[in-house]
């Protein structure tokens, strides 16, 4: 597989490596380290063992593990960590990357194929990185007559909106970027931005097929917004709160999917439509309108929109888990302590780790369920889609609202109910 160029000299190779290391060292010492120090001077550091931490002390303490733990403990409880790493963007992006990998391999197995195989040693695991590099290296072509400011802003706005939805999804008790009391309303408010972005982008492209795609996106998402919200309503009634963390905690013993199966089904179908996945991928219907509202995207603009789409997929799968599958509830499988007898400050928290484990597992299962229809269904037609959204799903969504009301007034669930925790 690996082939060397004809004029390959080992000496040249070593020389180039040394040159690379030289330049890395130069850049790190001249730019990197000063930058880190400048940042550390502005970030307030915690007092450790009574002494105020300075950047110099910080670097010297990094070498000593016992003194590092308080620093790490301080770091992972900052807002920055939440936004950038754990329930925030890195976690979502990692799950999105996992989704793309699972989608490729899972669909390939359904279709009697192998899927990506060559990028990376194991089962083409680096295919996504290869694709990303390809997209980055491609030229971005802006159509003549395009509305340039909107054309450049829309993909960024798409990712930002997807990230905003992610910021509202709790991944463990207390682990959420923005713990709003109106969490579920905020989620739907942010989801309402997506058709607007699609329409703006398609209008800004100044092209016919994107315009048709944008109009389709608008119709589709408005038709499915109402059953989407209505299907979440019984959960609000049963949990007695709009806060997503409270909703997850309310179903610690009994998952709401057992009481509200129809709502869960409507929510699932509506999220498929919201995500523009087959059978509802009308805005991107390839054989009809080329690539729909994405026709004029190229290079990293396309890459950003894809990233946004998969982050959104994680957000909606996570939302389903929070609303219907009990959130992070699950049997405790992690031990209380990993190092018995250790008395110092701890990073490890068995409850949180357990919650993260169950939440991630359920979300991945939900993602698989969202990916599944792509392998077995053709695309639906726009009039059937609108009919389904406006007539069937809204009626179905109402059924479980009455069931939920019955359960609350019957004293079975809800605040002070028989089965509620």
User: Where on the chain is the footprint of another protein (CB under 8 A)?
Assistant: 107, 110-113, 208-209, 212, 278-279, 281-282, 285-290, 374-384
Residue whose structure tokens are 């307030």: 44
Smallest distance from another protein to CB 365, Å? 21
Smallest distance from another protein to CB 104, Å? 12
Smallest distance from another protein to CB 375, Å? 5
Smallest distance from another protein to CB 379, Å? 3
Contacts of residue 209, defined as CB under 8 A and 6 or more positions apart, other chains included, come to 289, 290, 291, 292, 295
The DSSP result for 301-315, as a single string, is HHHHHHHHHHHHHHH
Tally of CB atoms within 10 A around 36: 14
Nearer to another protein, 3 or 287 (CB): 287
Nearer to another protein, 82 or 216 (CB): 216
Record the tokens describing residue 421, joined without a space.
């925790």
Identify whether the C-beta of residue 52 lies closer than 8 Å to the C-beta of residue 40: no
Nearer to another protein, 295 or 420 (CB): 295
- Phi, psi at residue 175, to the nearest 5°? -100, 85
Smallest distance from another protein to CB 142, Å? 19
Smallest distance from another protein to CB 108, Å? 9
Smallest distance from another protein to CB 28, Å? 47
Q: Distances in Å between the alpha carbon of 260 and those of 210, 263, 406?
A: 38, 5, 12
Nearer to another protein, 157 or 285 (CB): 285
Nearer to another protein, 72 or 386 (CB): 386
Q: Is 263 exposed, middle or buried (0-12, 13-18, 19+ CB in 10 A)?
A: buried
Residue whose structure tokens are 């997929």: 313
Nearer to another protein, 84 or 110 (CB): 110
Identify whether the C-beta of residue 184 lies closer than 8 Å to the C-beta of residue 242: yes
Contacts of residue 142, defined as CB under 8 A and 6 or more positions apart, other chains included, come to 148, 151, 152
Nearer to another protein, 222 or 237 (CB): 222
């Amino acid at each position: 597989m690996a082939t060397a160029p004809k004029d390959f000299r080992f000496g040249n190779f070593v020389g180039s490596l040394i040159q690379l290391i030289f330049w890395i060292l130069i850049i790190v010492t001249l730019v990197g380290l000063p930058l880190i120090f400048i940042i550390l001077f502005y970030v307030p550091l915690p007092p450790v063992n009574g002494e105020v931490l300075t950047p110099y002390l910080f670097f010297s303490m990094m070498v000593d593990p016992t003194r590092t733990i308080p620093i790490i403990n301080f770091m992972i409880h900052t807002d920055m960590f939440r936004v950038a790493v754990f329930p925030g963007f890195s976690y979502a992006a990692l799950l999105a990357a996992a989704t793309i990998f699972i989608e490729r391999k899972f669909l390939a197995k359904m279709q009697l194929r192998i899927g990506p195989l060559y990028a990376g040693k194991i089962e083409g695991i680096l295919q996504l990185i290869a694709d990303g590099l390809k997209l980055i290296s491609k030229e971005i072509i802006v159509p003549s007559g395009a509305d340039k400011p909107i054309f450049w802003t829309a993909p960024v706005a798409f990712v930002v909106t997807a990230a905003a939805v992610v910021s509202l999804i709790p991944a463990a008790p207390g682990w959420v970027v923005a713990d709003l009391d109106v969490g579920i309303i905020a989620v739907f408010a942010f989801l309402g931005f997506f058709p607007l972005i699609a329409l703006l982008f398609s209008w800004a492209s100044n092209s016919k097929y994107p315009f048709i795609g944008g109009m389709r996106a608008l119709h589709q998402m408005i038709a499915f917004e109402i059953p989407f919200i209505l299907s979440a309503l019984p959960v609000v009634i049963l949990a007695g709160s709009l806060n997503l963390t409270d909703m997850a905690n309310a179903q610690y013993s009994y998952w709401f999917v057992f009481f509200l199966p129809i709502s869960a089904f409507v929510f699932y179908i509506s999220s498929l439509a919201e995500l523009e996945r087959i059978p509802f991928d009308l805005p991107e219907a390839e054989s009809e309108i080329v690539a729909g509202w994405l026709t004029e995207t190229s290079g990293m603009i396309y890459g950003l929109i894809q990233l946004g789409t998969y982050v959104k997929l994680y957000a909606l799968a996570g939302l389903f888990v929070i609303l219907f599958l009990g959130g992070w509830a699950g049997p405790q499988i992690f031990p209380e302590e990993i190092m018995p007898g250790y008395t110092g400050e701890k990073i490890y928290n068995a409850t949180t780790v357990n919650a993260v484990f169950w939440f991630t597992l359920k979300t991945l299962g939900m993602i698989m369920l969202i990916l599944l229809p792509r392998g077995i269904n053709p695309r639906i037609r726009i009039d059937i889609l609108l009919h389904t959204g406006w007539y069937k799903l809204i009626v179905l969504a109402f059924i479980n609202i009455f069931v939920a009301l019955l359960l609350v007034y019957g004293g079975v669930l809800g605040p002070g109910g028989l089965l509620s925790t």
